[in-house]
């Protein structure tokens, strides 16, 4: 179970997802998120 939880290997265990996962509506790159954060803090 440990590998599933810590490393995302679902063949060796499971992953637990909380209610916050319902707020995800698109997948973005880290660079894109950082650009938005930097842009929003300077405006």
Predicted confidence (pLDDT) per residue in 1-43, tens digit: 677 777 878 888 777 777 777 888 899 999 999 999 999 887 6
pTM attached to this predicted model: 0.43
pLDDT of 36 reads: 92
pLDDT of 1 reads: 63
pLDDT of 32 reads: 94
Spatial separation of the C-alpha atoms in residues 5 and 18, rounded to whole Å: 13
Spatial separation of the C-alpha atoms in residues 26 and 23, rounded to whole Å: 9
């Amino acid at each position: 179970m440990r590998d599933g939880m810590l490393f995302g290997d679902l063949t060796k265990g499971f992953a637990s997802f909380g209610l916050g996962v319902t707020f995800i509506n698109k997948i973005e790159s880290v660079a894109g998120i950082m650009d938005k954060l930097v842009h929003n803090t300077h405006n």
